[in-house]
Structure 1
Amino acid sequence: MALNQQVFKTRALTAIIFVAIMLAGLLISSWTFAILFFVIHWGCWTEFDQLFKKIYPKYLAADLRITNLPRLIGCGFLVYCLPHHYTIAGVELDFIGILIMVVGAVKFISLWARAGTLRPLLLKGAVLGLLYISLSWGLMIHLRFFYFLQYPLGFMAALTLVAGVWINDTMQYMVGSLIGKTPFSKISPNKTLEGTIGGSLLCIIVVSSIGYYFVDKNAGWLFIVVSAIAAIAGTAGDLLESKIKRLAGVKDSGHFMPGHGGFLDRFDSLIVSTPLVWLAAQLWVALS
């Protein structure tokens, strides 16, 4: 009993600290938002690299100089996704981001060309990592600064998405614990069909209602669309990460949060949801 209480206290304290850091990063300023997702990007890449090595043991023999370069290219993409009028020492960030990506890509190609039989595996790891991790977090940062007629459309969408993913996870767990009986997927045996469907519907209802009545009645469509993406794509993201962990033969992607797992465990739903929310925002503006 004492051990269970200690585990609960550890998980609760970790969750409180995690939420406090996330809220601070999301809300204090545009720079804290960007820094937050740069850190998340780096942590997710680190864990992805470790999982990839477990799935493909031959990857362990690869030179670290080449396996770390895709992560650097991804960082360049995140820099490029910051507002282009932002500057460092008078140099615009889009130029800095492009420079990092080009230099990283040239160096990667030069080392990759001499990697022999490891070339297919190195290319696979680089492409999958960039698409799975860097694309999502770059688009999240770009979404943060997306405006429509002076309206902070992207910022609203980003905050709604983060809240939607958290609420969706909570609702699915609660509904599944209360009435869940039918297994939803072999990949994630703890998920139930009742919990997944019921929790997703509750997520859409709760997020849409809070957004409409307490945030902005004129943006009701935004809360409905983003919460629906958080519920559906977020669940898909969770299942995808579970599949990757199963292939790697591990329970958690990492241990940066005691009692809660790693970066990928915490942000798997956002990774898949973010590109869809970004696309929805672009389409809405294009069709307006």
Structure 2
Amino acid sequence: MKNKFLSIMFILSLALMTACSNSDTEKAEAPEGANEPETTKVDRTDLILATTTSTQDSGLLDELIPMFEEENPYKVKTIAVGTGQALEMGVKGEADTLLTHAPASEKELVDNEDVLNYQQVMYNDFVVVGPTADPAGVKGLSTTEAFAKIFESQSVFVSRGDDSGTHKKELQLWEEASLTPSENEAYLETGQGMGNSLQVAAEKQGYILTDRATYLAQKDTLGEFEVLVEGDDNLLNIYHVMEVNPEKSDMINVEGAKAFVEFMIDEDTQSTIAEFGVEEYGEPLFFLFE
């Protein structure tokens, strides 16, 4: 009886040892992380966007680019420069897509087939801003009258001087007034973007042409500085988006550029643009075409 009991205990011990051994083997053979949830990794390719500083300084791109990247497998690398420089990058095939605001210059690229899929996105307006004291007395005048008074009084006028869309518009306005701005000794060129140029104008207590969006975004940092001239038909500021022709370079991200253009004119994106600035500034910074 004793021997039978010992036999039974020996068999049970062997069974227990075998079970433990199998359990350890299964654990060892199980792939690491087998019970962890799978995560999807998105391979992103770079998309180079050449654009004007106003879309950057206004904060609009900070709103739109995360939306685009969430919906598409691309990482946007933004190069914010003057529109002239952005367009030149397109001509040289150094960018994939462009977002600019100089229609006359853009049309040259369209006609030369440097760019494709040319689309209107939004608009706002240019305004002349200056010190609240308004030493040249231009408040409420037409653009041509205001430029003439600034010139005649030899008041400080700050120009971007960077071949940007805003600079191109400013030179057009001087031409319409039949004036040569450099003949004013107080005419100052910064060679910088819109945000920095506004700061210089405020410091110098001078006048400057700016897009309304960047002015509103920086208004609180400018002190006694306000919009003095606005509303003229020639102050309309139109933005377009376009793809760079892939024939310009074999490095062009064709699919990414197309996706970005389509994103910018998509209904949801357009709604976001129309609402941008309302909560913070009490008015939109950009408007949509009907």
Do they fold alike, i.e. is TM over 0.5? Answer: no
Larger % of strand: which?
2
Larger % of helix: which?
1
Return the TM-score normalized by structure 1: 0.24
- Structure number with greater CO (CA < 8 Å, separation at least 6) is 2
Return the TM-score normalized by structure 2: 0.24
